[in-house]
A = this chain, B = another copy of it.
Amino acid sequence: PFEWTAVDRRTVDTVRVLAMDAVQKVGNGHPGTAMSLAPAATLLFQKHLRHDPSDPAWVGRDRFVLSPGHSSLTLYIQLYLSGYGLTLDDLKSFRTWGSRTPGHPEHGHTAGVETTTGPLGQGLANAIGMAMAARYERGLFDPDAAPGASPFDHRIYAFASDGDLEEGVTGEASSIAGTQKLGNLVVIYDDNHISIEGDTKVAFTEDVLKRYEAYGWHTQSVEFTTPDGYVEDVEALHRAIVAAENETQRPSIIRLRTIIAWPAPKLQNTGKAHGSALGEPEVAATKQILGFDPQQHFEVSDEVLAHAREVAERGKAAHEAWSARYEAWRAANAQRAAEFDRIARRELPAGWDAKLPQFPPGKDLATRKASEAVIQAIAEQLPEFWGGSADLAESNNTTVKGGLSFLPYYEQDNEFGGSSPYGRILHFGIREHAMGSILNGIALHGNTRVFGGTFLVFSDYMRPAVRLASLMHLPVTYVWTHDSIGLGEDGPTHQPIEHYAALRAIPGFSFVRPADANETAAAWKATLEQDGPVGLALTRQNVPVFDREVLGSALSVHEGVKRGGYVLAEASGGTPRAILIATGSEVQLAVAARERLEESGVPTRVVSMPCVEWFEAQDVGYQDSVLPKSVKARVAVEVGVAQPWYRYVGDAGRVISLEHYGASADFATLLREFGFTAEAVEAAARESLAAVAD
């Protein structure tokens, strides 16, 4: 029988008071939603979420995602009340320098925060990714357990706001969740009719639940607004959550009609209560309504705290009960348990890279095709490695052959060799943004390694997710093919120009543009051996496989790529007069230009620079050895805007770049017409040499 005592109600009101006080103290923030979601959050953390505050990384825990990150106090206060280590002092230092309670929840910064939210829509899409990862994880370690019987069975809970549901990324991701029949996902939609511009009727009049029915979700409604006034019927909400939990064949959404900032007498149900401190008088008036002393701040009774903290004991007990099942699983599945241990440590198996392909020089190959071969070699060694594409599998060459489609049913007749709930091939549809956010959710969930592909130009569609992957330092890999005007006939809408610069600009992100098939293999290897997000830019068109011995490469291709930039072709005599820097498909132009320069007596070095970020991470000694300060005649060549290269070519250098959009024609014509030729590189080098001589 469901119990919701006076202490529980007092706990809820304490949450409201803390939210008001925390915002009031710093003078800014978002009190309204934290107040009106107080009952839902308290109910969830106290009665539904399976969690152990003493072990926020417990692999068997349920996940909670707060998609409206601006309501961070909703989460912080529950973390405090549950005993995750957050203190009242932390709440008092809300939104201040160095605090554990920044304006928006930051994963990795505050224990118990499962993902960084704030950019709306991302959190709900992350939650959908987590729900997918939970199924894949189960498939890796315990695929044959009865539903609900595995230690790897757990749920994903999320709160979502009007803003989350307005953002298109959640529409994309929710459609995927419907197709995937994610029965382990429970979303509570806070329908409060208020956003920053006031009543949502000016922009948001759709029937949200009908839309979710259209996606194939299980939908329910709970109204706290009743004909008799505002009644926070926590038991009704509880029953709805139980029904959602019991619905294991579909994702669930519960529309919860609330009044923002309830019960603030003047500011409830206003846009102002969304994003501003209520002001001392309103805070005091609200405390009075709630039976709190308006003179006190951050008032938490011992009774409330003790009562709330009991969840930590219940969580420990749940954890222990789980551990028994987990140990039984380990005993019965020794090999899988060993695999689990390795994967949980994010270790690569010994010798995992022994079968990475090596590509002999002589035959041209598109780097996307090389990547396809590498993906197969990795997939063979790493069962935790999975991924797919935003409806471009054949173009991105991302398919793990024989991997089966990740779909909620078994089938033998699809074009990917069949499907399975535990399949390794992800089909995102034409939804790059959801793909990005789902990849983040999968990485946040842990215990798998995931990648996703689209055309490089459409990295724009997923950019908000790429940024969050970078901010959270998540190990996701993007396979971005058709990486330049070299894609040819599809024309300017499909040809990236600004994307190299724009992606390199993102802090914490590594943009890798390998020059040939072997650099592609090395790029994949280096990617798996590090932790942050990586974007691989791969050609559609064939490019030569370099003979590193003939060219006199200073390092092995693996060592060179790992260092971001390296001497691919050494100047005759070992002391260059000119340096040509290039990436990807333009490295061949640098190599050809070098030959011409060498023939005319100019010792010329070619530096392949697949990853500027990795090069910048090297010590200055290494960097200087590749780009000696004394050699000022330099040319950089890349089929994108020049912006990233001025830094490396210096005052006397030249950049061969593309400062305008491409065109629709075959790639050879485009490259010639736009000046990407060995002759042009050679001429630029001679200009630079002349500038040095001046």
Contact = CB atoms under 8 A, between A and B. Distances in A.
Interface stretch (A57-65, A487-495, A531-539, A681-689): A487-495
A661 to B, nearest CB: 6
A647 B650 contact: no
Interface string A637-668: 00001111011001100000001110111100
Among A458, A491, A499, which residue has the most Cβ atoms of chain B within 10 A? A491
Contact of A214 (B208, B392, B393, B492): B208
Interface in A497-518: 497-499, 501-502, 504-508
A273 to B, nearest CB: 13
A209 B502 CA distance: 37
Contacts of A407: 202
A44 B500 CA distance: 41
A203 B179 contact: yes
A391 B167 CA distance: 11
B205 A179 contact: yes
Given A167-B172, A429-B166, A665-B97, A498 B507 contact: yes
A673 B96 CA distance: 13
B166 A168 contact: no
A471 B664 CA distance: 14
A688 to B, nearest CB: 13
Nearest to A118: B493
A478 interface: no
B97 A669 contact: yes
Interface in A621-644: 641-644
A361 interface: no
A405 interface: yes
Contacts of A457: 119
A403 interface: no
A307 interface: no
Nearest to A195: B391
Interface stretch (A73-81, A459-467, A570-578): A459-467
Contact of A196 (B394, B508, B661): B394
A191 to B, nearest CB: 14
A182 to B, nearest CB: 13
A16 to B, nearest CB: 21
Contact of A391 (B196, B213, B504): B196
Given A391-B196, A430-B167, A505 B494 contact: no
B168 A414 contact: no
Interface string A189-225: 0000001111110111111101101111000000000
Contacts of A395: 196
A405 B205 CA distance: 15
Nearest to A461: B464
B168 A433 contact: yes
A493 B216 contact: no
A116 interface: yes
B664 A119 contact: no
Contacts of A489: 26, 28-29, 95-96, 103
Contact of A106 (B69, B391, B492): B492
A203 B429 contact: yes
A638 to B, nearest CB: 12
Contacts of A117: 493
A435 B461 CA distance: 14
A176 interface: yes
A471 B498 contact: no
A78 B212 CA distance: 38
Given A104-B493, A119-B458, 12 more contacts: A29-B489, A98-B665, A106-B491, A116-B493, A119-B460, A166-B175, A168-B431, A197-B392, A203-B431, A461-B464, A505-B643, A643-B644
The 10 closest A-B pairs by CB, nearest first: A168-B168, A118-B493, A203-B429, A102-B664, A97-B665, A171-B171, A498-B505, A210-B214, A502-B502, A163-B430
28 contacts: A26-B489, A96-B489, A96-B666, A97-B666, A102-B492, A102-B664, A103-B664, A166-B430, A167-B172, A167-B430, A167-B431, A171-B172, A179-B204, A179-B205, A197-B415, A202-B427, A213-B214, A271-B394, A271-B415, A460-B463, A461-B463, A461-B464, A471-B493, A471-B661, A502-B502, A643-B643, A650-B651, A651-B651
